[in-house]
Amino acid sequence: MKILTEDYPFIPYFPETIVEEEMMTRSRGFYHHANKRRSIRHFSNRPIPRQIVENIVRTAGTAPSGANKQPWTFVVVSDPKLKSKIRIAAEIEEKEFYKRKITDEWRKDLAPLGTDWKKPYLDIAPIIIVVFRQVYSFDTNKTKRKHYFVMESIGIAVGMLITAIHNSGLVTLTHTPSPMKFLREILKRPINEKPFVLMPVGYPAENVTVPDIKRKKLSEILVWK
């Protein structure tokens, strides 16, 4: 098969042009904004407008991906019956984790977060976004099409999703009960999709508290060569 690059013309790219002083201000401001984000485990049941959720998912959908396959599906669950099914199934796995699977080291590492098997936020938060990774896809003739670097691509998209949620003034938590197979069944997703992460999204509960964790210093995470 001969592939002609002429068949795929490029289009001009118009970058936003900003002066260095403005770049400095923006990068500092964005860091301060990002640094205010915290994972939240206690939610208000206050509903959130659908359009905000759509904008958040649109933003995640701008992520780069292997061969631009965009190998993701964002399932937004607001139906209380489905949320409750997810909670019941997640708590079964979490109970097993905290009672049997967890190691001593892991228990010690989780102690500052104050977590346990109970996940009431899965009922309380107005929505749960379940992100599925598409291991492959089907084209219009139902032929399997390959996807590339799916884990990397979806990790980037979820990072952008989290940032978009925070930017809109909402809070979330990345939750990965293990195994997560139940999500495909409850949400009736096709066989090419595997659950990647589950994220309750909403407003924080009143007077919510968070663990007193510290971020690593820049010198610990940045290496100049």
* Chain residues in the site for ligand IYR (CB under 6 A): 94, 97, 110, 113, 115, 175-177
Tokens standing for 211? Answer: 């663990």
Least separation, in Å, of the C-beta of 51 and ligand IYR?
Answer: 30
- Picking from 156, 192, 158, 199, the residue whose alpha carbon sits closest to that of residue 177 is 199
Least separation, in Å, of the C-beta of 159 and ligand IYR?
Answer: 16
Least separation, in Å, of the C-beta of 176 and ligand IYR?
Answer: 6
Least separation, in Å, of the C-beta of 180 and ligand IYR?
Answer: 10
- Residue closer to ligand IYR (CB basis): 59 or 115: 115
Least separation, in Å, of the C-beta of 217 and ligand IYR?
Answer: 21
Contact 111/186 with Cβ under 8 angstroms? Answer: no
How does strand 171-172 pair with strand 144-146? unpaired
- Residue closer to ligand IYR (CB basis): 62 or 176: 176
Tokens standing for 125? Answer: 């938060």
DSSP-H helix ranges across 125-196: 150-167, 182-186
Least separation, in Å, of the C-beta of 113 and ligand IYR?
Answer: 6
CA angle 138, 141, 144 (to 5 degrees): 30
For residue 10, which amino acid is it?
F
- Residue closer to ligand IYR (CB basis): 45 or 176: 176
- Residue closer to ligand IYR (CB basis): 62 or 84: 84
Q: What are phi and psi of 179, to 5 degrees?
A: -75, 165
- Residue closer to ligand IYR (CB basis): 133 or 175: 175
- Residue closer to ligand IYR (CB basis): 70 or 94: 94
In SS3 terms, 30-84 reads as HHHHHHCCCCCCCECCCCCCHHHHHHHHHHHCCCCCECCCCCEEEEEECCHHHHH
Residue number, nearest CB to ligand IYR: 115
